[in-house]
Amino acid sequence: MSLRGLLQFVACLALMLPALAFASERTPKPDIIIANPGHCVAPTEIMRRNHPEMLLHQRDLTVHEGIRTTKYNLERCVACHASKTTDSVLGPKGFCQSCHAYAGVTLDCFECHASKPKLATGASQ
């Protein structure tokens, strides 16, 4: 086989790999329990890719300027996405932690922010 042919074969194989991987049952997937599917502030594909930027932008507006709109509010994310069994977005099957663990991305938000909705923590208004 010529070098060019070999390269073409390798390229084809590389292109097919993701499709093969997703077709396979052996690929691990995050084990998430979604409490309220389909009610988010943007379509799922946009949320999956852009939720860090949304939260980052909102956090600066809120902390520095006192703008407290509710659309990209982390408190509301937690209120809606908290598991109905554990009342939290953390935990092995929790909405935030399960996917972050799968993707290997550190999840720092909840070292400071509450991972449970307001009523569940019993905090005062």
Residues that bind another protein (CB under 8 A): 39-41, 59, 61, 63-71, 75-76, 78, 80, 111-114, 116-118, 121, 123-124
Hey, what amino acid is at 98?
S
Cα 10 versus chain centre, distance:
33
CB of 32 to another protein, least distance (A): 19
Nearer to another protein, 11 or 123 (CB): 123
Nearer to another protein, 29 or 76 (CB): 76
Report which of 91, 93, 86, 102 is spatially closest to residue 28, judged by C-alpha positions.
Answer: 102
* Dihedral sign for Cα atoms in the order 67, 73, 74, 79: positive
CB of 50 to another protein, least distance (A): 16
